[in-house]
Amino acid sequence: MKKTNAVRILDKKKIKYELIPYEVDEKDLGAIHVAEQLNEPVEQVFKTLVLEGNKTGNFVCLIPGAEELNLKKAAKISGNKKCDLIPLKTVLPTTGYIRGGCTPIGMKKNFPTYIHDTCLSFPFIYISAGVRGMQIKIDPKDLLKVVKIDVCDIIL
């Protein structure tokens, strides 16, 4: 596999990680499917969601795979009155990554980023490596060293 932008950034910052491949199902790009493929608890597989707030513009939330983002909490924590997911057709031009391969590391811009606080209860979590079919296994404390991320409660 050729190195993604996210992997190059981790290497440059000398962050320890592991690349874990999985079988992609184009009909099911969800984190639950990824967790099943990895044979790991879905609570440790974090999905990357890109949102747009009515005041601050785009921001990113990472939440455990089976959970649902609480839009009210996400809006409040990001300084907005309301927010919503960006349209799928704008994910690639906004982030540089495709749906199902979106990672918080190395997006086109450094968007404000928030991760659910359960991440710190695990020795490692999985996030997308920037392509479908590849996950990064990383200590969440190391992820916080690479991307400026606020740890908070953002799920329903």
CATH code of residue 131: 3.90.960.10
| Cα–Cα distance measured from residue 68 to residue 75, given in angstroms and rounded to the nearest whole number | 14
| Nearest CA among 19, 91, 109, 93 for reference residue 48 | 91
Residue with tokens 């606080």: 117
Which of the four pLDDT bands, split at 50, 70 and 90, describes residue 24?
confident
pLDDT score of 28 more than 80: yes
pLDDT at 3: 85
pLDDT score of 1 more than 70: no
User: For residue 122, what are the domain limits?
Assistant: 5-152
Paired strand residues for 64: 46
Q: How many independent structural domains does the chain possess?
A: 1
For 88-115, what is the mean pLDDT? Answer: 95
pLDDT score of 122 more than 90: yes
